[in-house]
């Protein structure tokens, strides 16, 4: 009986967290997925006379906001640490603004609050730190973008993060993306580290 209660005490905070992720991903009405179509990168729908194209290239600069969540998959430092282990679980919620200067270049401002869940008989969940990681965006065809971010964390760590971002679905209202990042961190009297993160989210058109 005590073993079962211990199991549910660990799952409960994680369940709330997963519910928050589902809410984030489905914040945009599902009917927008029915509007998915092949559009040029960052194209905007404009009113035009009969016989003229319904889409046109956007004017620059322009700004788009985005919401997402990020999962640290593995971190390598003095040893190898996997997320979702028996000790703790961490998840972040990056929000930001991309300022696009052309079809090929932009600048991203991102803030990531991170939540850490500690397992055990007295398991807790808390807001652990906030990461500010601005960076330049190098934009390519077919929705692929490389972002070179600096990293400044309230936990005392700093470094840089290359990000490989791919738009996988476009709708009238939002573009859905998935990204892999390689955070390198230094400082605060700790060993240098490098990791692998998975990020999923959407940008507002």
Specify the length of the chain in residues.
205
Place of tokens 């999923």: 200
pLDDT of the residue at 87: 85
- What distance in Å separates the CA atoms of residue 193 and residue 75, rounded to the nearest whole number? 7
pLDDT of the residue at 186: 98
Contact 179, 165 (CB under 8 A): yes
The predicted model scores a pTM of 0.76
**CATH code of the domain in which 112 resides:** 2.40.160
- For residue 176, give its domain range: 2-204
Q: Which residue has the higher pLDDT, 165 or 32?
A: 165
In the chain, the number of structural domains is: 1
**What's the whole-number mean pLDDT along residues 19-48?**
49
Estimate to the nearest angstrom the gap between the alpha carbon of 193 and the chain centroid. 20
- pLDDT interval class at 120 (50, 70, 90): confident
């Amino acid at each position: 009986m005590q073993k079962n209660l211990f199991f549910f005490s660990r799952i409960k905070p994680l369940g709330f967290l997963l519910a928050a992720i589902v809410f984030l991903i489905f914040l945009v009405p599902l009917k927008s997925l029915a509007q998915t179509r092949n559009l040029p990168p960052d194209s905007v729908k404009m009113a035009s006379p009969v016989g003229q194209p319904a889409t046109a290239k956007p004017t620059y600069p322009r700004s788009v906001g985005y919401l997402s969540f990020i999962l640290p998959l593995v971190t390598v430092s003095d040893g190898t640490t996997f997320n979702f282990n028996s000790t703790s679980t961490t998840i972040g919620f990056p929000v930001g603004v991309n300022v696009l200067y052309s079809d090929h270049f932009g600048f991203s401002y991102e803030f990531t609050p991170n939540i850490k869940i500690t397992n055990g008989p007295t398991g807790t969940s808390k807001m652990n730190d906030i990461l500010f990681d601005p960076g330049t965006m190098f934009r390519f065809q077919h929705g692929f973008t490389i972002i070179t971010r600096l990293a400044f964390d309230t936990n005392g760590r700093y470094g840089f993060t290359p990000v490989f971002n791919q738009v996988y679905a476009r709708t009238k209202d939002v573009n859905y993306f998935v990204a892999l990042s390689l955070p390198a961190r230094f400082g605060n009297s700790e060993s240098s580290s490098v990791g692998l993160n998975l990020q999923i989210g959407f940008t507002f058109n």
